[in-house]
Structure 1
Amino acid sequence: MIQLHDLEFVPFISSKEIKNRVVELTKKIAEDYKGETPVFLGILNGSYQFLASITSHYKADCEVEFTKLSSYQGIHTTTCVRQLIGVENLKNKDIIIVEDIVDTGNTLVSIVENLKALEVKSYRVATLFHKPEAYQKNIKLDYVGFEIPNKFIVGYGLDYDGLGRNLSEIYQLKH
């Protein structure tokens, strides 16, 4: 068990399980983009570890870009998504949106709207974690690492008010 700020978290998914799943997802992405040069678009801050893991296993040509959005306050998602850092020069490119977690889908809708406005060639979504119980949108998730219950998690890039991103495994809020 670990404590971050005022909350306690218990182990949920090991670093070995995460690594194995990332390798599987990366192989699938490489198959789907054979002969292409996709742009991995990491959504900061949470996706940084997932994106680094994907690209370290991705052996073909690719580009990496980042954007920063925010929809969380404490342990709760909000309906307000703020774009903090925009992206440019993506016109006519194949984009792989790299998310740490998709729960309600509000952030994802905002990203897709921005990409359409930038006239990208195509986009697909890769997320390490998906909460089907919380998902309220109909954007296809092309590469999903783990489907998890609608409970708050930290680690491997995900945080609780700034803490826990550096953990190599996933912890779930203790109830």
Structure 2
Amino acid sequence: MESTDVQSDLKHVLKSKEEIQNRIAELAAEIDRDYEGRDLLIVGVLKGAVMVMADLARALHSHVTMDWMAVSSYGSGTQSSGVVRILKDLDTDLMGKDVLIVEDIIDSGLTLSWLKTNLESRGTASVEICTAFRKPAAAKVKIPVKYVGFDIPNEFVVGYGLDYAEKYRNLDFVGTLAPHVYE
């Protein structure tokens, strides 16, 4: 799906496919360097992290294992509900493992803060965070994020895994959703 397919739904393109791919390659190089000689488990947070997880895993030059977790704090709206539910837990035992949580976007940080604490409680050696996008102006809790693709404005964005009511995830860029779509 291209921007012309959803042009009337967008205010503008925020990050192009090329910008995203270049930044993912840079993050992969940092991760390869930081975890050299260590076994790394990358944990994708469904559904939004599918695109970044796939691209990041392919950009890495070291072996990693992958697992997926689904948590929810959103309904079909645009604001976090504040209540976190595990919809799909990990299949991997985390005891003694270096874990990298891979996220699509960090808004308030509430869900991710809860998730990091939950994974740390499982006996991990380390838990770090990698996100494609972060909205500093939306933060409600301070959470350390080791790898950040882009800091973006506090606007409603879609594409590259980010959705509105389960649509727009398959865009290969990130755009700001026009208010008439969600109001």
TM-score interval for Structure 1 and Structure 2 normalised by the shorter chain: over 0.9
Counterpart-to-counterpart distance in 2, 1:13 and 1:138 = 25
By percentage of residues, which structure has more helix? 2
Per the alignment, residue 119 of structure 1 pairs with 123
Per the alignment, residue 43 of structure 1 pairs with 45
Offset, 1:3? 4.6
The CA RMSD over aligned residues, in Å, is 1.6
Candidates 160, 163, 168, aligned match of 2:167? 163
Answer yes or no: is the 8 Å Cα contact 2:120–2:127 preserved in 1.
no
Counterpart-to-counterpart distance in 1, 2:108 and 2:130 = 15
Per the alignment, residue 134 of structure 2 pairs with 130
Counterpart-to-counterpart distance in 1, 2:78 and 2:59 = 31
Please state whether the residue corresponding to 1:156 is helix, strand or coil: coil
- Scaled by the length of structure 1, what TM-score is found? 0.93
Counterpart-to-counterpart distance in 1, 2:140 and 2:95 = 28
Counterpart-to-counterpart distance in 2, 1:20 and 1:72 = 29
Please state whether the residue corresponding to 2:105 is helix, strand or coil: strand
- Scaled by the length of structure 2, what TM-score is found? 0.89
Q: Percent identity?
A: 36
Offset, 1:112? 1.2
Give the alignment of 1:1-175 within 5 angstroms.
3=6, 8-9=9-10, 10-73=12-75, 74-87=77-90, 88-175=92-179
Answer yes or no: is the 8 Å Cα contact 2:40–2:97 preserved in 1.
yes
Counterpart-to-counterpart distance in 1, 2:79 and 2:14 = 19
Q: Residue by residue, what CA displacement relative to the aligned partner does 1:105-160 show, whole Å, maximum 9, x if unpaired?
A: 11112211211221111011000000001112222000000000111100001110
Please state whether the residue corresponding to 2:81 is helix, strand or coil: strand
List gaps (5 residues or longer) in structure 2: none
Q: Residue by residue, what CA displacement relative to the aligned partner does 1:4-62 show, whole Å, maximum 9, x if unpaired?
A: 9xx82232210000000000000001000011111000000000100000110111111
By percentage of residues, which structure has more strand? 1
Report how many aligned residue pairs link the two structures: 173
